[in-house]
Structure 1
Amino acid sequence: MAGRKETISDEEILSIFIENSDPFLTTSELADELDFTLTGIRKRLYDLDEEGYLSFKKAGNSPVWWITDEGKEFIESERD
């Protein structure tokens, strides 16, 4: 698929949360920001939730996501 990244690192995904002024983001916002499919980013977000780097809450039919303290620590360790 032209223009779409084949892979996105955990650091790239988590960095969106660090750099964004909103305290939480939707799956669609993240897919748009990263130029990735909804299905692809959704799986990655749930994986990051299982690892403890993100948390989510259902808001209507869609989850909203935020970075956890563990996610912030991971980003800091990757940037050092």
Structure 2
Amino acid sequence: MAGRKPDVTDEEIIAVLEQASDPVLSTNEVVDQLPIKSNATQIRLKELRTEGRINGKQAGRSWVWWVSDDNE
């Protein structure tokens, strides 16, 4: 990833999903757990999905995210 060094690591983002009590989290639920802005979180989540490290899909106007056993 080019540009400024991220304030949050990929592993920290993935940990939010792994430690959640719900099987999926919305982008806003992930944002609430991290010290980075919503747009940056959305971009990072989509990058992690593209890399195959997490799963995600659009649900209406929002995105939901999860980690499956396939990603470990």
Is the TM-score greater than 0.5? Answer: yes
In structure 1, list runs of 5 or more residues that go unmatched.
1-5, 74-80
Match for residue 13 of structure 1?
Answer: 13
TM-score, length-scaled by structure 1: 0.75
Return the alpha-carbon distance in structure 1 between the equivalents of residues 23 and 62 of structure 2: 16
Q: What is residue 32 of structure 1 aligned with on the other side?
A: 32
Higher Rg: 1
Q: Where is the helix percentage greater, Structure 1 or Structure 2?
A: 1
Residue 68 of structure 1 corresponds to 68
Q: For 2:66, what is the secondary structure of its paired residue?
A: strand
What is the number of residues matched between the two proteins?
67
State the 1:52 CA deviation. Answer: 0.2
Mapped partners of 1:67, 1:54: distance in 2: 5
Q: Which digits, 9 at most, give the CA deviation of each residue in 1:4-23, with x for residues without a partner?
A: xx511011000111111110
Q: What does residue 42 of structure 1 align with? A: 42
